[in-house]
Amino acid sequence: MPRMSDYPVIRLRPKANVRAIRRGAPWIFDNELVLDRRTRKLAPGSLAVLEDNEREALGVVAVNPESRIAARMLDRDPAAVVDRAWFKGLLARAQAHRDRLYPAPYYRLVHAEADGLPGLVIDRFGDTCVMQPNAAWADALIEPLTEALVEVTGVTTVMKNAGGRGRSLEGLDDADAVLRGSAPEAALAVEMNGATYMADLTGGQKTGLFYDQRENQRFVQRLAEGARVLDVFSHVGGFALAALAGGAQSALAVDGSAPALSLAEEGARRMGKPLETRQGDAFDVLGALNEDAARFDVVICDPPAFAPSKQALENGLRAYERVAKLAAPLVEEGGYLTLCSCSHAADLSAFTGACLRGIGRAGRRAQLIHTGQAGPDHPLLPQLAESGYLKALVFRL
């Protein structure tokens, strides 16, 4: 790997927000960089030393002249060498944190910028790690990254999932790969909150399982004893299986994906619990349940990101409001409604407002009893609002 003197130098424009970068902001946008002919020739994923307009070095960055995020801060030390040893240090630090939290190696091991590896997500499933390199630099350095990952964790299988939305924004391909070992031939069983989840690491959504809702599922589980539960946008049974593990009387899981619901059913079977499933468009199923005057003690709606960007925010908030309006009438008097958003463009205030408008339009009154976020294996970087993407609001109606 190159020494510091081998890295090219790129420079900030005079009006760039140098103070924010010095205070920990990890992204440098294309309008903040001097994108001259030399800089534009740098291959996506190249490493460089970032200087301010007075030629003071700020650190080592990964460059992508073709991206709106033109540079990502990797190390505040301008003499840092990004090689296998560098990866090992950060990965060991990330694992030490998770080992304090969880008795078994099933968690998000690397949460991108918050773990010092911008654009990179790694989820661990026992002896298998699934990584999403959603930035060009992580794709370019995937071999030393993989070597370090195996050395630090001792996993036998490393898989690359190329389905992340960020990859297209970085100009990257969508080709999945097995980097070490061999892909599991069947879905893996993962224990969380006393429930069994089946994770499809090759054909499932994202890396195969959503770890981020673990703490919120645990909270809702406390409300579910003896309850009739409805879990909409259930994926592989996220809240429904946690509720059954918590003693729910019954649970109905709704999702548009038949394979996801099959995995939910398999998880319930392994738990020895009854789970009803219904495949279909969530809005259509909510409407049908309202027509049938169905009632539940606990209702959870955990949809995909309706507002994945600022441009989609207005339409996304209307969609969240519609979910709340359709879900609220299904909740028994004194029952609980949990509404979630994984849209980083919709902040907590905007999302809460949309939920309350929907609940109000349904003619219901609500107490907000709990506000949740992603679990501690998904740490937040305070200087990057986007890292706090998940919101979970639990209302008593």
Give the confidence band of 113 by pLDDT, cuts at 50, 70, 90.
Answer: very high
Please state, in angstroms and rounded to a whole number, the distance separating the CA atoms of residues 362 and 84.
Answer: 56
**Do the beta carbons of residue 98 and residue 373 sit within 8 Å?**
no
Which residues on adjacent β-strands are paired with residue 180?
A: 158
Closest CA to 136 of 169, 177, 113: 169
Buried b (16+ CB within 10 A) or exposed e, 218-247: bbbbebbeebbbbbbbbbbbbbbbbbbbbe
- List own/partner pairs for 238-241 with CB under 8 A and 24 or more apart: 238/197, 238/210, 238/213, 238/302, 239/213, 239/300, 239/302, 239/338, 240/264, 240/268, 240/275, 240/300, 241/195, 241/196, 241/197, 241/267, 241/268, 241/271, 241/273, 241/275
Radius of gyration of the chain (CA): 22
Q: Is 262 a residue whose pLDDT tops 70?
A: yes
* CA end-to-end distance (rounded Å), the chain: 59
Class of domain 4-75: mainly beta
Q: How many CB atoms lie within 10 A of CB 258?
A: 11
What local confidence, expressed as pLDDT, does residue 3 receive? 45
Give the confidence band of 1 by pLDDT, cuts at 50, 70, 90.
Answer: very low
pLDDT, tens only, 55-65: 999 999 999 99
Q: Is 264 a residue whose pLDDT tops 70?
A: yes
Of 129, 301, 340, 342, catalytic: 342
Buried b (16+ CB within 10 A) or exposed e, 79-104: ebbbebebbbebbeebbeebeeebee
Dihedral angle, C-alpha 101, 103, 108, 109, nearest 10 °: 90
Q: Which CATH number fits domain 188-396: 3.40.30.10, 3.20.20.80, 3.40.50.150, 1.10.238.10?
A: 3.40.50.150
What local confidence, expressed as pLDDT, does residue 163 receive? 86
382: exposed, middle or buried (Cβ count in 10 Å: 0-12, 13-18, 19+) = exposed
Type of residue at 108: R
Alpha helix ranges (H) inside 272-310: 282-291
Tokens of 275: 């789970």
Give the confidence band of 2 by pLDDT, cuts at 50, 70, 90.
Answer: very low
Q: What is the mean pLDDT of the chain?
A: 95
CATH architecture of the domain 84-180 equals 2-Layer Sandwich (3.30)
* Percent above pLDDT 70 for the chain: 99
Q: Report helix, strand and coil shares of the chain as percent, to nearest 5.
A: 35, 25, 40
Strands 69-75 and 9-11: unpaired
Please state, in angstroms and rounded to a whole number, the distance separating the CA atoms of residues 295 and 191.
Answer: 29
- What is the mean pLDDT of the segment spanning 367-390? 93
Q: Is 312 a residue whose pLDDT tops 80?
A: yes
Length in residues, the chain: 397
Domain boundaries, the chain: 4-75, 84-180, 188-396
Give the confidence band of 5 by pLDDT, cuts at 50, 70, 90.
Answer: low
Residue 342 appears among annotated catalytic residues? yes
- What is the mean pLDDT of the segment spanning 377-386? 91
DSSP state of 141: T
Which residues on adjacent β-strands are paired with residue 28?
A: 71
> Which residues have a Cβ under 8 Å from the Cβ of 36 and sit 6 or more positions away?
none
Please state, in angstroms and rounded to a whole number, the distance separating the CA atoms of residues 244 and 264.
Answer: 12
